[in-house]
Amino acid sequence: MTIPTNALPPVVEAEEWAAQLAELRAEEKALTRARDALAAKRRRLPMVEFPRAAAYRFTSDGPEANLIDLFEGRDQLIVYHFMYIPDGWCAGCSMFADSVGAVEPLNARDTTLAFVSETPWERLGPRRTEMGWRMPFYSCWGTEFPADTGTTTADGFGISVFLRAGDKVYRTYFTTGRSTDAFGNHWQFLDLTPFGRQENWEDTPEGRPQTEPYQWWRFRQDY
């Protein structure tokens, strides 16, 4: 890739760079505090009971499970709703899964992370093995779970948070769309760079590389 010289960031003396960086870092600190305040508000959201938690039947490479089982004995459960595409795989969901590392730190804070998809297990299981994903994966094929969570084939993907109190399960949070970007480190790392995500919706200086959104997304073995 050759970038025109006039499209590159300007070159300045170290003192000016440090001054502008300090200004930006002050804005980042303000954003951090705003994000903390939003998280505090999220923690105060009401919740809704999921009365059919014990009735769902999820399949995996282990015994059949219900929603309570997905907690693995912990009190909090984060579910990534992995998009079901009947004749293929979602590159975005795969990129998100690729960005997940060790789940043990979550487990240490009484929290389980699980990926759930409408994709039948006979397809989903081999795909998980092929991609080397370590986190728990389950198929909810044939259950009402996608409809109950608003993540049917037509609606795609998202992140749900559940809380368990004894034998009762409650949903405390849900997000989808661009809001899930905050939890995938590929996008967050690119946001640190001068070229950004290189998608044409971004506010980027003229001449920087850009393509249509999603066009550059690939399964990692295809890059």
Using CA atoms, how far apart are residues 168 and 138, in angstroms rounded to an integer? 20
Residue 192's domain comprises 184-214
pTM value? 0.88
pLDDT (mean) for 88-109: 92
Query: Sorting pLDDT into bands at 50, 70 and 90, what band is 1?
Result: low
Q: How does DSSP assign 84-150, residue by residue?
A: P-TTS--HHHHHHHHT----HHHHHTTEEEEEEESS-HHHHHHHHHHHT--S-EEE-TTSSHHHHHT
pLDDT (mean) for 9-21: 95
Residue 32 lies in a domain: no
Together in a domain, 207 and 100: no
Residue 29 lies in a domain: no
Together in a domain, 72 and 116: yes
Q: Domain total for the chain?
A: 2
Q: Are 137 and 60 in contact (CB under 8 A)?
A: yes
Structure tokens at 182: 């905050």
Together in a domain, 148 and 60: yes
Q: Is the pLDDT of residue 61 over 90?
A: yes
Q: Alpha helices, DSSP H only, in 132-180?
A: 145-149
